[in-house]
């Protein structure tokens, strides 16, 4: 809660003030003869850095047990800038095949154009990852749990394999949050979040974060400065405020998520439920080993195919029909036409994303209210 918060030196402010300024007086006694080098703890221009943004970065580094952090104007800015910072033309990137749709498109359409070879490997078959690492790779890109099927990657095992092959490990840990999982403790090098989601937690901000070693974050910061995905001070203030309640919100998301997953699992109109906290999840043992909680994301296949899923979405009254996730309000969507609409139907089928799949971001409302709403919606199928 207190990481990055001001000490007494901010005019006694108890919360991090919003430094709503694009630029700063040159930080030298004689500003005219300024030599262009920014002294430690000083600021020049908000695209480079800003005290409100720096406060969030300190909080994020402390949450992820990282040496340093860089904050961005979106999760995608964080992902693309990190990949541009750590990869170069001719490099080979191993990526798991279950990815957020935007990241999937970045890997499919953009990185190859820049001369980076991207090889998609099975998310859960660690043998394939090992074989591909044997052929050489500069980095491995992971999500765990994945969007939308909540598959897990054994982070400790992959980090050991990747490091002995000389590859860096990058993870998008958005679904887990640093409350439920700290990948750096398991050997991962760089941890990315769409801070739009649980970190901010109120569905009212777009932001992204990256955390890792000081050396890696210096490279990432350079790309933020040059490609320009900097977060504005007001956005940083909102994110800081959201992050202060991350722990208690996650407690409720974890509790509601598991209760709703169990409720759905026994419902006659539900064919399959995906949630790492369920004993029926094929990687439940791994979830228990590497996570402290299982989060509020629940995906499930309903009876009646796409038509059934659409009926449910039309019928819910408390749960909001919207994409995105991780906020205090429960949100429901179909990956088919939202988070994974950029995939071809063939790719979705190969990955197991069915037309009847519903993705639910369980909020912090009363548990029974959420279940009653789902029960009502499901009864319409």
Q: Which residues bind ligand PLP (CB under 6 A)?
A: 74-76, 100, 102, 143, 147, 172, 174, 194, 196, 206, 208, 324, 339
The answer to whether 369 is a known catalytic residue is no
- The Cα-based distances of 38 to 35, 43, 48, 345 in angstroms read 9, 7, 10, 50
Q: Minimal distance in Å, beta carbon 381 to ligand PLP?
A: 26
SS3 of residue 68 by DSSP: strand
SS3 of residue 333 by DSSP: strand
Separation of alpha carbons 120 and 97, rounded Å: 5
Q: Minimal distance in Å, beta carbon 127 to ligand PLP?
A: 25
Q: Is 147 or 256 the residue whose CB approaches ligand PLP more closely?
A: 147
Q: Is 147 or 177 the residue whose CB approaches ligand PLP more closely?
A: 147
The answer to whether 232 is a known catalytic residue is no
Torsion of CA 197, 202, 205, 210, to 10 degrees: -40
Q: Is 193 or 354 the residue whose CB approaches ligand PLP more closely?
A: 193
Q: Minimal distance in Å, beta carbon 195 to ligand PLP?
A: 7
The answer to whether 262 is a known catalytic residue is no
From the list 145, 179, 172, the residue with the least C-alpha distance to 361 is 145
The answer to whether 30 is a known catalytic residue is no
Q: Is 142 or 378 the residue whose CB approaches ligand PLP more closely?
A: 142
Q: Is 44 or 107 the residue whose CB approaches ligand PLP more closely?
A: 107
Q: Minimal distance in Å, beta carbon 281 to ligand PLP?
A: 18
Cα R_g (the chain), whole angstroms: 21
From the list 285, 65, 334, 314, the residue with the least C-alpha distance to 186 is 65
Residue 282 near residue 146, CB atoms below 8 Å:
no
Q: Minimal distance in Å, beta carbon 149 to ligand PLP?
A: 12
Candidates 197, 223, 249, 354; catalytic one:
197
Q: Which residues pair with 193 in a beta bridge?
A: 209
Separation of alpha carbons 325 and 75, rounded Å: 13
Candidates 91, 98, 154, 172; catalytic one:
172
Separation of alpha carbons 59 and 52, rounded Å: 11
Structure tokens at 195: 């801070």
Candidates 100, 141, 198, 274; catalytic one:
100
Separation of alpha carbons 60 and 67, rounded Å: 10
Active-site positions? 47, 100, 172, 197
């Amino acid at each position: 809660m207190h990481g990055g918060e001001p000490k007494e030196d901010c005019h006694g402010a108890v919360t991090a003030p919003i430094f709503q300024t694009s630029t700063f007086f040159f930080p030298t006694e004689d500003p005219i003869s300024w030599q262009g080098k920014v002294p430690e703890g000083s600021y020049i221009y908000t695209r480079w850095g800003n005290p409100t943004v720096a406060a969030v970065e300190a909080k994020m580094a402390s949450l992820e047990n990282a040496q340093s952090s860089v904050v961005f104007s979106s999760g995608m800015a964080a992902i693309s800038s990190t990949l541009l910072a750590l990869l170069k033309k001719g490099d080979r990137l191993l990526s798991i095949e279950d990815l957020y749709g935007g990241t999937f498109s970045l890997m499919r359409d953009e990185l190859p154009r820049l001369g980076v070879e991207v090889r998609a490997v099975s998310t859960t078959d660690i043998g394939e990852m090992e074989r591909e690492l044997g052929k050489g790779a500069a980095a491995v890109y992971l999500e765990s749990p994945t969007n939308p099927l909540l598959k897990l990657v054994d982070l400790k095992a992959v980090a050991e394999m990747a490091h002995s092959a000389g590859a860096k490990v990058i993870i998008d840990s958005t679904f887990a949050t640093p409350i439920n999982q700290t990948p750096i403790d398991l050997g991962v090098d760089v941890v990315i979040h769409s801070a739009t989601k649980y970190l901010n937690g109120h569905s009212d901000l777009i932001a992204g974060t990256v955390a890792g070693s000081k050396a890696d974050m210096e490279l990432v910061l350079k790309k933020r400065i040059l490609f320009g995905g900097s977060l504005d001070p007001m956005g940083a203030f909102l994110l800081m405020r959201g992050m202060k309640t991350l722990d208690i919100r996650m407690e409720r998301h974890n509790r509601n998520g598991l209760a709703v997953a169990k409720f759905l699992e026994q419902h006659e109109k539900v064919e399959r439920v995906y949630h790492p906290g369920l004993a029926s999840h094929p990687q439940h043992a791994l979830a228990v080993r590497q996570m402290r909680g299982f989060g509020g994301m629940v995906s499930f296949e309903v009876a009646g195919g796409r038509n059934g899923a659409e009926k449910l979405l039309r019928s819910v009254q408390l749960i909001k029909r919207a994409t995105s996730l991780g906020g205090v309000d429960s949100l429901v969507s179909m990956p088919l036409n939202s988070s994974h609409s950029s995939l071809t139907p063939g790719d979705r089928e190969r990955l197991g994303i069915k037309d009847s799949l519903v993705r639910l971001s369980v909020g912090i409302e009363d548990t029974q209210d959420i279940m009653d709403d789902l029960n009502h919606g499901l009864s319409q199928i």
